[in-house]
Structure 1
Amino acid sequence: MKIAFVGKGGSGKTTLSSLFVRHLAAVGAPVLAVDADINQHLSTALGLSDDVAERLPAMGAHLPQIKDYLRGSNPRIPSAGAMIKTTPPGEGSRLLRVVEENPVYAACARPVPLDGGQARLMVTGPFTESDLGVACYHSKVGAVELFLNHLVDGEREYVVVDMTAGADSFASGLFTRFDMTFLVAEPTRRGVAVYRQYREYARDYGVALRVVGNKVQGPEDEEFLREAVGEDLLVTFGQSDWVRLMEKGGAPSFGRLEEAGRAALATLQATVDASYERRDWQRYMRQMVHFHLRNAESWGNAKTGVDLAAQVDPSFRLGEMATA
Structure 2
Amino acid sequence: MKIAFVGKGGSGKTTLSSLFIRHLAAHRVPVVAVDADINQHLGVALGLDEAEAAALPAMGAHLPLIKDYLRGTNPRIASAETMIKTTPPGEGSRLLRITEDNPVHDACARRVRLAGVPGGGDVRLLATGPFTEADLGVACYHSKVGAVELYLNHLVDGRGEYVVVDMTAGSDSFASGMFTRFDMTFLVAEPTRKGVAVYRQYKEYARDYGVALRVVGNKVQGEDDLDFLRSEAGDDLLVAFGHSDWVRALEKGRPRPFPELEDANHAALRVLYETADASYERRDWERYTRQMVHFHLRNAESWGNARTGADLAAQVDPSFVLGEEAVPAPQPV
TM bucket (normalised to shorter chain) is over 0.9
Q: What SS is found at the alignment partner of 1:215? A: strand
CA displacement, residues 83-140 of structure 1 (integer Å, 9 cap, x when unaligned)? 0000000000000001110000000000110113211000000012221101111000
1:228-243 to structure 2, matched below 5 A, reads 228-243=232-247
Matching residue of 2:35:
35
Q: Does 1:210 align with 2:214?
A: yes
Matching residue of 2:83:
83
- In structure 1, how many angstroms separate the alpha carbons of the residues matched to 2:58 and 2:324? 28
Q: Does 1:181 align with 2:185?
A: yes
Q: What SS is found at the alignment partner of 2:250? A: helix
1:127-138 to structure 2, matched below 5 A, reads 127-138=131-142
Give the CA deviation at 1:270: 0.3
One-letter amino acid matched to 1:202 = A
- In structure 2, how many angstroms separate the alpha carbons of the residues matched to 1:127 and 1:239? 32
One-letter amino acid matched to 2:98 = V
Give the CA deviation at 1:2: 0.2
Give the CA deviation at 1:37: 0.1
2:7 touches 2:198 (CA, 8 Å); kept in 1? yes
Q: List gaps (5 residues or longer) in structure 1.
A: none
One-letter amino acid matched to 2:195 = G
- In structure 1, how many angstroms separate the alpha carbons of the residues matched to 2:219 and 2:41? 19
One-letter amino acid matched to 2:10 = G
Matching residue of 2:110:
110
Matching residue of 1:299:
303
2:82 touches 2:310 (CA, 8 Å); kept in 1? yes
1:52-91 to structure 2, matched below 5 A, reads 52-91=52-91
1:1-324 to structure 2, matched below 5 A, reads 1-114=1-114, 115=117, 116=119, 117-323=121-327, 324=329
Q: What SS is found at the alignment partner of 1:129? A: coil
- In structure 2, how many angstroms separate the alpha carbons of the residues matched to 1:292 and 1:83? 10
CA displacement, residues 34-93 of structure 1 (integer Å, 9 cap, x when unaligned)? 000000000000000111111110000000000000000000011110100000000000
Q: What SS is found at the alignment partner of 2:148? A: helix
Q: What SS is found at the alignment partner of 1:287? A: helix
Alignment TM-score, normalising by the size of structure 2: 0.97
238-247 vs 126-135, which deviates more?
126-135
One-letter amino acid matched to 1:268 = L
- In structure 2, how many angstroms separate the alpha carbons of the residues matched to 1:143 and 1:305? 20
Give the CA deviation at 1:251: 2.2
Alignment TM-score, normalising by the size of structure 1: 0.99
- In structure 1, how many angstroms separate the alpha carbons of the residues matched to 2:21 and 2:251? 16
One-letter amino acid matched to 1:236 = A
Give the CA deviation at 1:317: 1.6
Give the CA deviation at 1:271: 0.2
One-letter amino acid matched to 2:262 = E
- In structure 1, how many angstroms separate the alpha carbons of the residues matched to 2:132 and 2:245? 34
Give the CA deviation at 1:282: 0.4
- In structure 1, how many angstroms separate the alpha carbons of the residues matched to 2:170 and 2:194? 11
- In structure 2, how many angstroms separate the alpha carbons of the residues matched to 1:17 and 1:262? 13
One-letter amino acid matched to 2:288 = Y
Q: List gaps (5 residues or longer) in structure 2.
A: none
Q: Stretches of 4+ moved more than 3 A in 1? A: none
2:246 touches 2:255 (CA, 8 Å); kept in 1? no
Q: What SS is found at the alignment partner of 2:144? A: helix
Give the CA deviation at 1:160: 0.2
- In structure 2, how many angstroms separate the alpha carbons of the residues matched to 1:225 and 1:128? 38
Give the CA deviation at 1:286: 0.5
Q: What SS is found at the alignment partner of 1:134? A: coil
One-letter amino acid matched to 2:290 = R
One-letter amino acid matched to 1:113 = R
- In structure 1, how many angstroms separate the alpha carbons of the residues matched to 2:138 and 2:67? 22
Q: What SS is found at the alignment partner of 1:38? A: coil
- In structure 2, how many angstroms separate the alpha carbons of the residues matched to 1:261 and 1:268? 11
One-letter amino acid matched to 2:150 = L
